[in-house]
Amino acid sequence: MNLYYEVSGNGKPIVFIHSGGADLREWTYLAPLLSQRYQAITYDGRGAGKSPDPTGDVSCVEDVKSLLDHLEIKKATVVGRSMGGQIATDFALEYPERVEKLILLAPALTGFPYSDQFIEYMNSITAAAPDIDQMIEVSQSAPLYRVVQASPQRELTEKMLRHHIQRTFNWPSFELIWPEPPAFERLAELKPDTLFLIGTEESADNLRVKEYFRECTNAQIISISGADHMLTLTHPHKLYQQMTKFMER
């Protein structure tokens, strides 16, 4: 296991999977709360934070399995936000026996038909390269970051994003490998007990993902009033309350 990780607390294990453009600092406020009652495991994905750059094609799902194997954890609650939620969902579909409970925070979804507007937004960030300041400005100007941009956590959000962008310039060419068929086509097969948390100040695409989970799964779906896509930084106590209630029911 060559990924950087941190473990704190005792009790049933919880593995936290951060979003793209972030690192384990995403859990700065939430993990310490949960580590008072559980074993909190945070890690930097490949090419993020203190973990090494990719050296070939990457399977984020297999990285989660390798981390659990390395820590000799047979089963854990798996938590993921945004792309981290996409990884968590695919992991739960591939290895349901390793997932005690699944907690998704405004997740992405493999194979989901995202809108042209979303694709244009992502392309506009790439088009601003190599001007990092401009890339950050374009990224964070989206309405789904309006709450965090007006909060004290804006600085941490931009620090993580800047670090991520700087590292991507040095990455070799590689592909992300996802399980097939994509999660969008087999979401009804999702077995673990699932909690889906999402802010009310979200993008239309992420809200469509929420409705797709409502349609295809038995997930408990809760909206966090006044939160945007970075709800882990701005609303950790509300997440903590909902997550502990879910895990202990």
Question: Which pLDDT value is given to residue 69?
Answer: 98
- The interaxial angle of helices 132-140 and 154-168, nearest 10 deg, is 130
In one-letter notation, the amino acid at residue 95 is Y
Q: What is the pLDDT of residue 17?
A: 98
- What's the mean pLDDT in 177-195? 97
Q: Does 1 score more than 90 pLDDT?
A: no
pLDDT classification of 182: cutoffs 50, 70, 90: very high
> Residue 172 has what pLDDT?
87
Q: Show the DSSP H helices in the chain as ranges.
A: 30-34, 60-70, 83-94, 116-127, 132-140, 146-149, 154-168, 183-186, 204-216, 231-234, 236-248
Instruction: Using alpha carbons only, give the angle 218, 222, 226 rounded to the nearest 5 degrees.
Output: 160
Q: Rounded to 5 degrees, what are φ and ψ at 45? A: -65, 165
Looking at CATH, the fold of the domain delimited by 5-248 is given as: Rossmann fold (3.40.50)
pLDDT in tens, 85-139: 999 999 999 999 999 999 999 999 999 999 999 999 999 999 999 999 999 999 9
Q: Average of pLDDT values for 16-22?
A: 97
Could you tell me the CA-to-CA distances from 79 to 12, 88, 102, 106, 213 in Å, in that order?
13, 7, 6, 11, 16
Spatial strand order in the sheet of 220-224: 5-8, 39-43, 13-17, 76-81, 99-105, 193-199, 220-224
What's the pLDDT at 158?
Answer: 97
What is the pLDDT, as a whole number, of residue 149? 97
Write down the pLDDT at residue 112.
Answer: 98
Average pLDDT value for residue range 216-240: 98
Report cis status (omega within 30 of 0) of the bond before 130. yes
pLDDT band at 249 (very low <50, low <70, confident <90, very high): confident
The whole-number pLDDT of residue 170 equals: 87
Model pTM greater than 0.95?
yes
Q: Which pLDDT value is given to residue 124?
A: 97
Neighbours of 71 (CB within 10 A): 16
- Distance of alpha carbon 41 from alpha carbon 35, whole angstroms: 9
